Structure 1
Amino acid sequence: MTAALTTNPPSKDDVELARASGQRLAPYARKGLALTFRVRDAENEEAIELPAGAVKLLMAVLEDMASGRAVTIVPQNAELTTQQAADVLNVSRPFLIGLLDERKLPFRMVGTHRRVRFEDVLNYKEAIDTERRKVLGQLAAEAQELGMGY
């Protein structure tokens, strides 16, 4: 079973809190060590130790939240539904199904449902982003040759 934690974009108060927390945590996180946090609510207080990798992940979450972005955490070996994969790629589900049917993105069947590995979705996204950058570079070079630059 795979798990994903998805949040909505943070509120203005959460953005400010994430920014302040990230600034306070950053000097410790840069050391790359496990950290112990003191957690307190109205009734209890206790120390919780986080491994260095979790501290690094927490910093990434705080940085994204401080920038006003929603955060999703997905295990590396996760399999996504077609809708989840489409959301990651920011395309429609029918468009994603077309990619799967054209074998541009690998998938497996679970009963009558397609499942796409998160890692494959990220690899595909990186490949199309690289191609887009290449084409934009070519267009910019052509524009300069034609004297269309600023």
Structure 2
Amino acid sequence: MTAEHELTIPRAILPSKNIEDMSLLEGITARLLDEEIFIRDAKGVESPLPSQLKEAVQQTAMLLSQGKSVIIESADQTLSTEQAAEILGVSRQTLIRMLDRGLIPYSRPSKHRKIKLTDLLEYQRSTSSQKNAALAQMVSAGESDGLYDIPEPLPEEAAQAIASIRKEQSDVVGVS
């Protein structure tokens, strides 16, 4: 990144004093709300703008077109254990056990634990990568053992197998 493009946080972006710039910005802002935004890299390849960045561009353009300044700054968001557990899809108690085992860094500024969003997302990415690698290894082992070459049973065969299992279970319980 060149010195002129270095980002200083926080950074204030002031609206233009040029009337032509303001009217151009108003027109662009109206289109930004209805259309998908694409970016083009140095090689000319176009990609859609990710939704978070699109929302930031839309909000910035709207505020600037209204003559307002915009301040950009990073936010090291911290989460409660309830919020973090919800993001991971686990119970709060499970998350507490994970924190106590040192799987996810946290702080305790008061009696409550606080988790940085960046730390939580990094844990989520690493476990997802591990799960995907394990799954790929299992699929590979299954393919090499020929487990995926087993033909599926016909519906009649499946129905007979289910009926047989149910009969065995009812015989064990003594229900007829």
- TM tier, smaller: 0.5 to 0.7
Aligned counterpart, 1:89: 88
Could you tell me the TM-score, scaled by structure 2's length?
0.47
**Corresponding residue number in structure 2 for 1:57:** 54
Residue 31 (structure 1) shift: 4.3
1:127: which partner in 2?
126
In 1: Cα distance, 2:98 partner to 2:32 partner = 39
Tell me if 1:25 matches 2:47.
no
In structure 2, how many angstroms separate the alpha carbons of the residues matched to 1:88 and 1:127? 15
Cα deviations by residue, 1:25-72 (Å, 9 ceiling, x for unpaired): 11xx2148xxxxxxxxxxxxxxxxxxx99983329xxxxxxxxxxxxx
Report the Cα offset of residue 113 of structure 1. Answer: 0.3
**More strand, by proportion:** 1
CA distance in 2, matches of 1:140, 1:23: 44
Aligned residue number for residue 36 of structure 1: none
The structure in which a higher percent of residues are helix is 2
> Residues 83 and 149 from structure 1, CA distance in 2 versus in 1: closer, same or farther, beyond 3 angstroms?
same
Asked if 1:105 corresponds to 2:115, the answer is no
Larger Rg belongs to: 2
- Alignment correspondent of 1:141: 140
Task: Say what the alpha-carbon RMSD is for the aligned residues.
Answer: 3.0
CA contact (8 A) 1:108 1:115 kept: yes
**Cα deviations by residue, 1:61-94 (Å, 9 ceiling, x for unpaired):** xxxxxxxxxxxxxx75100000100111111100
Q: Give unmatched runs, 5+ long, in structure 2.
A: 1-30, 41-48, 57-73, 150-176
Q: Percent identity?
A: 23
TM-score normalized by the length of structure 1: 0.55
Residues 76, 119 of structure 1: 8 Å contact kept: no
Higher relative contact order (CA 8 A, sep 6+): 1
Structure 1 letter corresponding to 2:38? R
Return 5+ residue gaps in structure 1 as ranges. Answer: 1-20, 33-51, 60-74
Q: Which runs of 4+ in 1 moved over 2 A?
A: 21-24, 52-59
Count, aligned residues:
94
Quick one: which amino acid aligns to residue 105 of structure 1? I
Output the CA distance in 1 between the equivalents of 2:109 and 2:146: 55
CA distance in 1, matches of 2:50, 2:145: 50
Q: Tell me by how many angstroms 1:145 deviates.
A: 1.0
Which whole-Å CA distance do the structure 1 matches of 2:142 and 2:51 have between them? 46
